[in-house]
Chains A and B, each alone.
Chain A
Amino acid sequence: MRDVYINAAGAHLPGEAVGNDRMAAILGEIDDQSQRLGRLILRQNRIEQRHYAMDERGEALDTNAGMAAKAARAAVEASDLDLSQIDYLATGTTQGDLLVPGHASAVHAALGAGNDIGPIEIASFQSVCASSMMAAKSAFMTLKCGEAEAALVTGSEMSSRWFRPGFYRPALDRLENRDTRMAAEFLRWTLSDGAGALVMQSRPRRRGPSFRVDWIRLVSLADRFDVCMHAGIAHEDRHDPVRCWSHHADGPRGAAADGAIMLMQDMGLLKRIIRGWVGEYLALIDRGAIVPSAVDHVLCHYSAHSLREEIIRLMKAAGAMIDEEKWFTNLYSKGNTGSAALFIMLEEFMARGGYRPGEKILCVVPESGRAVISFMMLTVEEA
């Protein structure tokens, strides 16, 4: 089987960077309690800037697919290819613009508007943060076995759509419960918009650096853990999926009034899931797939600084820590963009330099949704 390389990365972050003081002006205000919790959550996640594809009047400036297509075009520009040479497109996102059809169709359509990409194979991956890694893995396998020569992989999010007051208003009474309120506010003050993309090929690039993909490993722990991050069901109904929004007798309006159309995260369960993730990391070390001392760079997606601290504490306790100076992130300046985050990190990391041929890059994308953890090991190659 052939080797597979990441040859270029692209990112698209919509509009101006938004500081903490302007978040409420763009997202809108729910109530005083929301503002208070917002200040607390921002101290914990330590994010200083993010981007929203939405203006202060609440008008959308772009779509999820539109942002993905812009990041994809940027990645192709950074490669030695033309868009017309791409023969496989895999997309990852938490929620596409439409319920039906798939996100990859929308991204392909947005790319094809200029007639510079033809009919190609596509694959839509819908999960949460790890949908990016699912898309990357499908491109990796497709290229490896010769089914395609040049793949585009995107991760993109328009999280801000969930956070307008109009999404909470039909069921404000549900937010009187402390846990439900926290489950809603944590995400509202943590997630933001953006897209990232990779060009992957079955050969290294002709000039400049390539990252060879050594392996990608993704594990779901949904066999043991309950749902942790969700939308489409009220927070208190989340363990009873038959009560999901689409089964509501009064349709979408009734589901919204019951609190089913809000994005939520169970903060208590998240802490237990983190230990499960660290267990999977340790298992990879045990099998010899990861040698902590041989890793030169770590690009780990995490949603908040406080969760990074938790992960690091557990890794240290197990004697499996990779030195903190090897960790690269742009969470604090570009925000938590979910499935786009790893590719937005890779874009900045690739352009910034500071790596040498032969060095190992470990990428980690955990997903709280229902406890997914994914790893990708890269080796720097200079063509």
Chain B
Amino acid sequence: MLQDISKRRQELVEAAFRGLAIAWTDFEGQLEQVPVIRKLNRGHLQIGDYRALLKNLRQQVVDGGCWIARAASHVDADHFEIRSHFMKHAVTEHRDFQMIEANFIACGGTLEEIRSAPKNIGSEALSAFMFHKASQPNPFALLGAMFMIEGLGSRKAVEWGAAIKEQLGLDDHQVSFMLYHGAHDDDHLDELETHLAMTVHDESDVQDVVRTARIVGRLYALQLEELDHV
């Protein structure tokens, strides 16, 4: 009986992993079609495009540390470990926007310009969704959101950072936000497996995690599509 339960749990975790991997590959396909990424992939990026990218990412990255912290405050004591995980995550993220600002200035922008830029339409939608999910009790579906955000750091950022550096002839200190993420966001798959096993109890939990990942992917792509549309 106990074995049956753990086997069932294992199957649910596998289904969640699979759903997340499908959401990820679909997201990567969406990114291929985003104009600024297509420009980068085709080798046509200009310094103004890169500055716009940094400026448009900053506002949502500032929020990043905040929604994870809010999510942590909605995790109950029975799920203490998940709360620790969220808090650790919030700490590692909450200074990231300063690196974006430094890169923006190193590429000819001003602090005033990047700080005063409003969120673009996509960033508004992404942030609103994140805070909405984070405000619910035990918002474990956000594990799906974190999977996507971590994937952006560990897979896309390093790929984009290297391409931007080469195409625009920049130095490391001008692209440090993307290169740093590539170097420091390892695959957190073991950790994610542990956390999914603790929080996924039935098929609807799996759907919730995967659906959250899909929504975050779509809204993140929207943020990149809506550069400077505020």
Interface residue ranges, A against B (CB under 8 Å): 221, 223-226, 239, 269, 272, 275-276, 278-280, 282-283, 285-286, 317-320
Apart from A239-B42, A280-B25, list 7 A-B contacts with CB within 8 A: A226-B38, A276-B25, A278-B25, A279-B26, A318-B21, A319-B14, A320-B18
Tell whether, in the assembled complex, residue B32 and residue A317 are in contact, meaning their CB atoms are under 8 Å apart. no
- A283–B18 Cα distance when bound, in Å, is 8
Considering only CB atoms, which chain B residue lies closest to A320 in the complex? B18
Give the residues in chain A near B19, CB-CB below 8 Å.
286
Tell whether, in the assembled complex, residue A272 and residue B28 are in contact, meaning their CB atoms are under 8 Å apart. yes
* Residue among B32, B33, B38, B189 with max Cβ neighbours from chain A (10 Å): B32
Give the residues in chain A near B18, CB-CB below 8 Å.
282, 285-286, 318-320
Tell whether, in the assembled complex, residue B17 and residue A318 are in contact, meaning their CB atoms are under 8 Å apart. yes
Tell whether, in the assembled complex, residue B32 and residue A226 are in contact, meaning their CB atoms are under 8 Å apart. yes
- A134–B221 Cα distance when bound, in Å, is 33
Please provide the chain B residues from 1 to 34 with a CB less than 8 Å away from any CB of chain A in the complex. Answer: 14-15, 17-19, 21-22, 24-26, 28-30, 32-33
Tell whether, in the assembled complex, residue B21 and residue A278 are in contact, meaning their CB atoms are under 8 Å apart. yes
Tell whether, in the assembled complex, residue A225 and residue B32 are in contact, meaning their CB atoms are under 8 Å apart. yes
What is the distance, in angstroms, from A143's C-beta to the closest C-beta of chain B? Answer: 32
Give the residues in chain A near B24, CB-CB below 8 Å.
275, 279
* Residue among B18, B19, B29, B30 with max Cβ neighbours from chain A (10 Å): B29
Does B98 lie at the interface of the complex (its beta carbon under 8 Å from any beta carbon of A)?
no
Tell whether, in the assembled complex, residue B29 and residue A269 are in contact, meaning their CB atoms are under 8 Å apart. no
- A55–B183 Cα distance when bound, in Å, is 50
Does B194 lie at the interface of the complex (its beta carbon under 8 Å from any beta carbon of A)?
no
Tell whether, in the assembled complex, residue A282 and residue B25 are in contact, meaning their CB atoms are under 8 Å apart. yes
Q: Does more than half of chain A's interface fall in helix, strand or loop, or is it mixed?
A: helix
Give the residues in chain A near B32, CB-CB below 8 Å.
224-226, 272
Count residues of B near A (Cβ-Cβ below 8 Å): 20
Q: Which of B29, B42, B187 contacts A224 (CB 8 A)?
A: B29
Do A276 and B22 form a contact, CB below 8 Å, given A224-B33, A226-B42, A319-B17? no
Tell whether, in the assembled complex, residue B29 and residue A283 are in contact, meaning their CB atoms are under 8 Å apart. no
Considering only CB atoms, which chain B residue lies closest to A272 in the complex? B28
Total A-B pairs in contact (CB under 8 Å)? 53
Give the residues in chain A near B41, CB-CB below 8 Å.
226, 269
Considering only CB atoms, which chain A residue lies closest to B18 in the complex? A282
Subset of 20 A-B contacts with CB under 8 Å: A221-B29, A223-B33, A225-B29, A225-B32, A226-B32, A226-B41, A239-B42, A269-B41, A275-B28, A276-B28, A279-B21, A279-B24, A279-B26, A279-B29, A280-B25, A282-B22, A318-B17, A318-B18, A319-B14, A319-B17
What is the distance, in angstroms, from A126's C-beta to the closest C-beta of chain B? Answer: 24
Give the residues in chain B near A317, CB-CB below 8 Å.
21, 187, 189
Tell whether, in the assembled complex, residue A224 and residue B22 are in contact, meaning their CB atoms are under 8 Å apart. no
- A282–B187 Cα distance when bound, in Å, is 19
What is the distance, in angstroms, from B89's C-beta to the closest C-beta of chain A? Answer: 21
A-B pairs with lowest CB-CB distance, top 5: A279-B25, A224-B29, A318-B21, A224-B32, A319-B14
Give the residues in chain B near A224, CB-CB below 8 Å.
29-30, 32-33
- A278–B26 Cα distance when bound, in Å, is 11
Give the residues in chain B near A225, CB-CB below 8 Å.
29, 32
Give the residues in chain A near B17, CB-CB below 8 Å.
318-319
- A320–B214 Cα distance when bound, in Å, is 20
Considering only CB atoms, which chain A residue lies closest to B13 in the complex? A319
* Residue among B17, B25, B28, B187 with max Cβ neighbours from chain A (10 Å): B25
What is the distance, in angstroms, from B117's C-beta to the closest C-beta of chain A? Answer: 29
Considering only CB atoms, which chain A residue lies closest to B210 in the complex? A286
Considering only CB atoms, which chain A residue lies closest to B28 in the complex? A275
Tell whether, in the assembled complex, residue B22 and residue A283 are in contact, meaning their CB atoms are under 8 Å apart. yes
- A318–B14 Cα distance when bound, in Å, is 8
- A223–B32 Cα distance when bound, in Å, is 10
- A275–B187 Cα distance when bound, in Å, is 15
What is the distance, in angstroms, from B5's C-beta to the closest C-beta of chain A? Answer: 19
Considering only CB atoms, which chain A residue lies closest to B23 in the complex? A279
- A225–B17 Cα distance when bound, in Å, is 24
What is the distance, in angstroms, from B169's C-beta to the closest C-beta of chain A? Answer: 15
* Residue among A272, A278, A320 with max Cβ neighbours from chain B (10 Å): A272
- A223–B25 Cα distance when bound, in Å, is 14
Tell whether, in the assembled complex, residue A282 and residue B29 are in contact, meaning their CB atoms are under 8 Å apart. no
Give the residues in chain B near A226, CB-CB below 8 Å.
32, 38, 41-42
Give the residues in chain B near A275, CB-CB below 8 Å.
24-25, 28
What is the distance, in angstroms, from A259's C-beta to the closest C-beta of chain B? Answer: 16
What is the distance, in angstroms, from A222's C-beta to the closest C-beta of chain B? Answer: 11
Tell whether, in the assembled complex, residue B21 and residue A282 are in contact, meaning their CB atoms are under 8 Å apart. yes
Please provide the chain B residues from 151 to 196 with a CB less than 8 Å away from any CB of chain A in the complex. Answer: 187, 189
* Residue among A278, A283, A319 with max Cβ neighbours from chain B (10 Å): A319
- A263–B25 Cα distance when bound, in Å, is 28
Give the residues in chain A near B38, CB-CB below 8 Å.
226
